[in-house]
Amino acid sequence: MKLLESGTELDGFTIEECIHSGGMAHIYHVHYSEGARNPGFPLAMKVPRMTAGDGAENIISFEVEHQIMQVLTGSHVPRFVAAGDLENVPYLVMEYVPGQTLDHWLEEPERPPVKGLAFLGAAVAMAVHSLHQQNTCHLDLKPANVLIRNDGSAVLLDFGLSCNALYPDLLAEQLRKAVGSPAWIAPEQVVGVRGDPRSDIFAVGVMLYELATGELPFGAPRTTGGLRQRLWMDPPPPRKLRPDLPEWMQEIILRCLEPEAAKRYPSAAHLAFDLRHPEQVTVTERGRNIQGTGFGVHFKRWLKAAGMQYQPSPLPAHQIDEVPIVMVAVPYKDVTDATLYSLRQAVARSMGTRPGARLACVTVISGSQSSTSNEGSETSLQRKHIAALRQWAQPLDLPGQQTSYHVLESGDVAQALVNYAVGNEVSVIVMGAATHGLKTQRFLATVPIKVAMDAPCTVILVKQALPFEMLTQQAASPRAALDPDLDVPF
C-alpha cells in the first residue's frame, strides 16, 4: 500500500506525518477528525504493507496483532483504539508512546555503564513478564520493538509475530517455518516451537549481549543452517569482548542465552530479580569463563539438537505460576522460636511444591536503627542481619540460585514488605501471624493484616507451632529475639 498523504481523512482519523516506514508496515501520527472525541493521549496509526511484492505474512501479522492488541492491558503495551477492515483499508490505531527505543543506546558511541545496562534489562524483563502473565509470548523482541519511557519503564511494540495461547496461532497454521527476526530468534523457534515464554527471555539475553558488547551474539544469519547453529553453539563470553563487565552480568546474559530453554531463567520475573539484586547473583563457571565453550560440549549439543522436534507449550501463565518468587518476612526481634520454626516449615512446604521457585528472605529494620546503632557502618549492620537470615534458612537446604537475603530499612514495616513484593513481582508472601513487637488490639490493624490487605499476591499467615519433642525445651528456655550474635540451634 502506498504512503498516505498528510491531511488525508480515514474513518474519522486525520493522517499526519509518517514516523516510520518498515518492511511490514507504515506508521503515522494521527488525530481524531474535527468533532470526534479526544481520547486524552496521542495516537499512532499502523498500516500494513500489502503490495504485490509483499508476502502473505504481512496480512497474517496484521490479523494477529489486531487480535492480540485488543486483549492486552497494562502499562507495558500501547492502548488499543481502533482497527480498519481488510476489505477496505487495514490499519490499527493505538496509543503513541513517547520515549526512546533500545536502538538509541546501541547508536551511542560508548556502551551503557553496567548499572544502566542492568536498569534497562530489568525494565524490559518486567514488561515481558507482564505479557506472559496475559498468556502472550512476543516472539519478536528486538531493540526496535522495545521502547523506554522517560520514567524508565519499558513498553513492548509490534505484536505481529506474537502468540496468545487462548487464541488460534494463525502464523503456526499458515507458515510452516521459523518466524522471527534472525538475530534475536530463540533456538526452539527455529524448529517451530511457539508459545514458550523462555523464548522471549532468550531475546532479552541477545539484547543485553548487544548492549553490553556492541556485537550480536550469533550475528545475523540468513540461512536455516545459520539459524540452527544456536541450538548447540554458545556465543563468545561477553567479558572476552568487554573485560570491565562484571562476572555477575555475564552470568545473567549467558543464562538467558542457554540453547536449552529449561536451563534459562524460568520466568522473566526471575531475570529482573537478578538484574535488580546483582549482589545476590550466584556466579558459576558460566560467569567466570572468558575462553568460551569447548568443542566437546558443542558436539554433544549438536547430537541432541539433531532430533529436536516441535513440542506444544503449556499456557505461559501456567508456566510462570509454577516458578513463583516466594518472599518470607523474618522478624529480627520480639519473635519466638515457635514462630521461626513455623515460618521455616511453611516455606519448606511452599518451595517443595514448586520446583524452580525462588525464595527471598526479607527482614525489615527501622530506618533510625542504623543512625543510632553502635555497630559501626550501615553496611556492617546489614551484613549482621543477612548472616542471621542465612542461619535461619540453612536447614531448608535450597540450591544457591534459589535463595537470596535482603535487609530493608523503613519505619513502616508493612508498607516496606508490600513495596518489595510489588517491585519484585513476588507471587507468595509467607509471614508470621504475630507482628513485629506490636500488641494486637481490637481496632488496630497489625502488620500481617496490613500486608494481607494491600499486597497484590497470595499472603500466607503462619501460626506458631513447635514439634512435640521441643515443647518442653521451649517452655524451659524461651527466646525473645533472633539475635544475629546468638547461636540458634535450628
| Helix/strand/coil (H/E/C) assignment for every residue in the chain | CCCCCCCCEECCEEEEEEEEECCCEEEEEEEECCCCCCCCCCEEEEEECCCCCCCHHHHHHHHHHHHHHCCCCCCCCCCEEEECCCCCCCCEEEECCCCEECHHHHCCCCCCCHHHHHHHHHHHHHHHHHHHHCCEECCCCCHHHEEECCCCCEEECCCCCCEECCCCCHHHHHCCCCCCCCCCCCHHHHCCCCCCCHHHHHHHHHHHHHHHHCCCCCCCCCCHHHHHHHHCCCCCCHHHHCCCCCHHHHHHHHHHCCCCHHHCCCCHHHHHHHHHCHHHCCCCHHHHCCCCCCHHHHHHHHHHHHCCCCCCCCCHHHHHHCCCEEEEECCCCCCCHHHHHHHHHHHHHHHHCCCCCEEEEEEEECCCHHHHCCCCCHHHHHHHHHHHHHHHHHHHCCCHHHEEEEEEECCCHHHHHHHHHHHCCCCEEEEECCCCCCCCCCCCCCHHHHHHHHCCCEEEEECCCCCHHHHHHHHHCCCCCCCCCCCCCC
- The mean per-residue pLDDT over the stretch 382-404 comes to 90
The Cα 278–Cα 443 span in angstroms is: 42
Alpha helices in 84-156 (DSSP H): 103-106, 114-133
Q: What is the pLDDT of residue 487?
A: 35
- pLDDT attached to residue 483: 47
The per-residue pLDDT for 141 is: 97
Q: Which CATH architecture best describes the domain 9-95?
A: 2-Layer Sandwich (3.30)
pLDDT value of residue 485? 43
Task: Say which amino acid occupies 270.
Answer: H
Of 380 and 236, which is predicted with more confidence? Answer: 236
* Domain 9-95 shares a fold with domain 324-476: no
| pLDDT on residue 324 | 94
The pLDDT of residue 488 is above 70: no
Q: How far apart are CA 123 and CA 116, in angstroms?
A: 11
Which of 32-46, 73-87, 91-105, 211-225 is predicted with the least confidence, judged by mean pLDDT? 32-46
Cell of 243: 573485560
Is residue 401's pLDDT more than 60? Answer: yes
Assign 160 to helix, strand or coil.
coil
CATH 1.10.510.10 is the classification of domain 100-314: yes
d(CA 112, CA 141): 20
pLDDT of 15 strictly over 60 = yes
Residue 52 pLDDT exceeds 70: no
Q: Is the pLDDT of residue 225 over 60?
A: yes
Neighbours of 44 (CB within 10 A): 20
Say if strands 25-32 and 13-21 run parallel, antiparallel, or are unpaired.
antiparallel
If you average pLDDT over each of 18-32, 353-367, 414-428, 436-450, which comes out highest? 414-428
Instruction: State which fold the 324-476 domain adopts.
Output: Rossmann fold (3.40.50)
* Average confidence (pLDDT) over 240-257: 97
| Separation CA 189–CA 177 (nearest Å) | 9
pLDDT of residue 355: 84
Strand order from edge to edge, sheet including 100-101 = 100-101, 146-148, 154-156
Q: How far apart are CA 214 and CA 207, in angstroms?
A: 10
H or E stretch at 157: none
Rg of the chain over all Cα atoms, to the nearest angstrom: 26
Domain range summary for the chain, segments of one domain joined by +: 9-95, 100-314, 324-476
Confidence of residue 206 (pLDDT cuts 50, 70, 90): very high
The arithmetic mean of pLDDT across residues 227-241, rounded, is 90
Q: Mark out the alpha helices in 5-71 (DSSP H runs).
A: 56-69
Count CB atoms within 10 A of the CB of residue 409.
15
pLDDT tens profile 268-291? 999 999 999 999 999 999 999 988
> Side-chain half-sphere of 143: how many Cα atoms within 13 Å?
17
pLDDT of residue 336: 83
Arithmetic mean of pLDDT, 87-111: 93
- Picking from 65, 90, 94, the residue whose alpha carbon sits closest to that of residue 10 is 90
Using 50, 70 and 90 to split pLDDT, how confident is the model at 441? Answer: very low
pLDDT at 191 over 90: no
- pLDDT of 254 > 90? The answer is yes
Collapsing DSSP states into helix, strand and coil, what is residue 37? Answer: coil
Q: Are 484 and 385 in contact (CB under 8 A)?
A: yes
Residue in the structure block whose three cell numbers are 535461619: 392
Cα separations in angstroms, 218 against 232, 259, 459: 12, 12, 43
Q: Quick check: 122 pLDDT over 90?
A: yes
Tens digit of each residue's pLDDT (9 = 90 or more) over 285-323: 999 998 877 777 777 777 776 666 656 667 899 999 999
Mean pLDDT, the chain, rounded, equals 85
**pLDDT, position 376:** 44
Res 475: pLDDT: 52
